[in-house]
Chains A and B, each alone.
Chain A
Amino acid sequence: MNSIILQTATRYLLPLLLLFSLFLLWRGHNEPGGGFVGGLVAASAIALQAIAFGPARARQAVRIDLRALIAIGLITALVSGIPALMRGDSYMQAYWMDLGHESIGYIKVGTPLIFDIGVYLTVIGVALLMIITVAEE
């Protein structure tokens, strides 16, 4: 598609949507959001790129091969359960820790976040692979 409005809008929307997807990913554990939704938003941002500038540009925008992205996502999700196995707990048992300092406050980081990141990457990879493959034909 060759629409100057869409192309201009996409330039502004892409970073915003990606930022929003990260926001969804981050708040996902306790509030609506999470890896899956975040991944879909990120994938739709790049799909928008594909609609505006063509699938080749979208592949470039991801930089990394989509299949590799799926694999990395799967392995990340899988690894998030390993710490529990090493401590003899049940697989995927969640561990949390507080990062930060009194003066600036704390953020909670834990193994579910790693799992969510894995889901996020896998969803981006799968969704984009499907969209771009069909778009390229």
Chain B
Amino acid sequence: MSSLALILPLLIPLATAGVGILAWRSRRLQRAIGLIGSVVLVIASVWLFVLVREEGIQSLQIANWQAPFGITLVGDLLSVALVLATAVMGVCVIVYSFGSVDRARESFFYYPLMHVLLMGINGAFLTGDLFNLYVWFEVMLISSFVLLALGGERAQLEGALKYVTLNLASSVIFLTGIGVVYGVAGTLNFADLALKLSAFEEQGIVTTLSMILFITFGVKAAIFPLFFWLPASYHTPPAAVSAIFAGMLTKVGVYALIRVFTLIFNQDISYTHTLILVVAGFTMVTGVLGAAAQHEFRRILSFHIISQIGYMIMGLGLMVSGNPAAVRLAIAGAFFYIIHNIVAKSNLFLISGVANKLRGSYELSRLGGLYASNPALSLLFLISAFALAGVPPLSGFFGKLMLVRAGLEAEAYVIVAVALGVGLLTLFSMTKIWAEAFWKPAPDESDDESAGESPGKAAVRQPGMALMMAPIIFLAVLAVALGVFFEPVYNFSIDMADQILDPRAYIEAVLPPEYIEQVRGGVK
């Protein structure tokens, strides 16, 4: 049954998108199809998750062309957990869209595009070779281009142009890298590459290849100094689109980095992973300092995405220590941090959308008084913001704790200091949003009594508001639950790290045993 379980997370969104396009005449039908598709996707992802959890790594050779020659899908704990997270985020964002996305966008295939985006993300998580990773990246990018530009406001188009240009440039680098990898190794299958490159004689070339891919995935993951497209574009589309972008797209880049730098490029760790660690530190610092200079709700959050990416990359970079316990904890911490960040960051973007709906602006100077008019929303914001900053007992605290512990055990004190300092600055930024948007009195209350209050009150009664609040509440509860029920998640993360750090299981799950024998024998 593994063949069905692995293909469903790709087929369901594709089928949903196809049927959704056919139903373009009816807005209600489109919504229904979008919702049903995403719920079915969650069910399929749970099934895949349970299957992989119980029976180990699953692989599927499409059309039965054997690896390393065919197209391979692989589900290990890391990828299926992320597929599950994608599916859950998909439902949240689609429900949220019901209440927030305007009619023009909905009739311009908003929901089908969203499902194509989900398919691209899932494909990138599940694929087992480098070229298909490129293809899924492009599927993801094309749908995100359209979602970003849909609506056609000036800021959106300018943001989209920057996003498109930088991402296409990174795709070109990726493609060049693929060409060179194929020229060097004669294969693009992850497992086969892991097998062949580790025995490759000229390790200098392998390190060069790893750097080409590092740059490519670095652009996608928005690491220092390749992140400029992110704060230029993420604050322009509707909040629902921002939320799924913020939650998932950069994480795909991080996933690719983790996959490639644990499975394939683990020969010259002292060089490559030290570089990753240094970049992680700079990413954290520049992101959080950039956020401190901003005064727009979503721009602050956009810069925080960058600084949070730094934490995830830090977990990967800590592999340099060579201390097995520390490395295990670091990878587990990076994984936990990804999951936590998907939940908390997306939720903050969703909340910013509600604030915008209530007050008609994302500018902090024009927001205000939300605590007085919407205490419940303020509480939800506080939960997510504190989770992001790492206040116990919320999810971010444990993510940071794992990474800091790993850093201490690895004796990488500088990066630990940076991580802790950036945590404080994150709290500072979140307090800034809190003080400006929620706590301070509404700005135009003094000169116009009614303007500050009545739109807010009117908006609360809007029918769409319940649909927007439901996913926010769900995600806030999830952020708390990740902290309160930390232990099972921790155990899972450790299992995942063990699996990631032992590539043999991955290789054996993908390639036929005779082939592995042959390659190993041929090398000696």
Indicate yes or no for A touching B, C-beta below 8 A: yes
Q: Residues of A with Cβ closer than 8 Å to B?
A: 67-68, 70-72, 74-75, 78, 81, 84-85, 88-94
Known: A67-B24, A85-B3. A75 touches B63 (CB 8 A): no
Main SS of the interface on chain A? helix
Q: How many A-B residue pairs have CB under 8 A?
A: 53
Q: Which residues of A contact B63 (CB under 8 A)?
A: 84, 90-94
The 4 closest A-B pairs by CB, nearest first: A71-B21, A92-B63, A74-B18, A90-B64
Does the CB pair A78–B64 fall under 8 Å?
A: no
- In angstroms, Cα B70 to Cα A93, docked, is 12
Number of interface residues of B (CB under 8 A): 19
11 examples of A-B residue contacts, CB within 8 angstroms: A67-B24, A68-B22, A71-B18, A71-B19, A72-B18, A74-B21, A75-B15, A78-B14, A85-B3, A90-B63, A93-B63
Q: In the bound complex, do residue A71 and residue B22 qualify as a contact, i.e. CB atoms below 8 Å apart?
A: yes
Chain B residues at the A interface, C-beta cutoff of 8 Å:
3-4, 7, 11, 14-15, 17-22, 24, 60-64, 109
- Looking at the assembled complex, report how far the CB atom of B182 sits from the nearest CB atom of chain A, in whole angstroms: 22
Known: A78-B14, A85-B4. A72 touches B64 (CB 8 A): no
Given that A78-B15, A84-B63 are contacting pairs, would A91 and B7 also be in contact in the complex, using a CB cutoff of 8 Å? yes
User: Do the beta carbons of A90 and B61 come within 8 Å of each other?
Assistant: yes
- Residues of the A chain whose Cβ atoms lie less than 8 Å from the Cβ of B24: 67-68
Query: Chain B contacts of A74 at CB under 8 A?
Result: 14, 17-18, 21
CA A78 – CA B14 in complex, angstroms?
A: 8
Closest to A85 in B: B4
**Nearest Cβ distance between residue A116 and chain B, in whole angstroms?**
14
The residue of chain A having its C-beta at the shortest distance from the C-beta of B17 within the complex is A74
Chain A contacts of B62 at CB under 8 A? 90-92
Chain B residues near A84: list those with CB within 8 A. Answer: 63
- Give the residue of A67, A68, A85, A93 whose beta carbon is less than 8 angstroms from that of B64: A93
Central interface residue in B11, B18, B61, by most chain A CB within 10 Å: B18
For A90, list chain B residues within 8 Å (CB): 3, 60-64
Check A78–B18 contact: CB distance below 8 A.
yes
Contacts of B22 in A (CB 8 A): 68, 71-72
Instruction: Give Cα A92 to B63, complex, Å.
Output: 5
Determine which residue in A75, A81, A89 has the highest number of CB atoms from chain B within 10 A of its CB, and name it.
A75
Contact between A67 and B4, CB atoms less than 8 A apart:
no
- Which chain B residue shows the least CB distance to A94? B63
Could you say which of A67, A72, A91 contacts B3, with CB atoms under 8 Å apart? A91
Name the residue on A nearest B23 (C-beta).
A71
- Specify which of B3, B15, B61, B109 lies most central, judged by the most chain A CB atoms within 10 Å of its CB: B3
Residues in B with CB closer than 8 Å to A85 are 3-4, 7
Chain A, Cβ-Cβ closest to B14: A78
In the assembled complex, the Cα of A92 lies from the Cα of B71 at a distance in Å of: 11
**Closest beta carbon of chain B to A93's beta carbon, Å:** 5
The CA of A94 and the CA of B64, in the complex, are separated in Å by 9
Specify the chain B residue showing the minimal Cβ separation from A73: B18
Chain A residues positioned under 8 Å from B19 (CB to CB): 71, 75
Residue of chain A at shortest CB distance from B71: A92
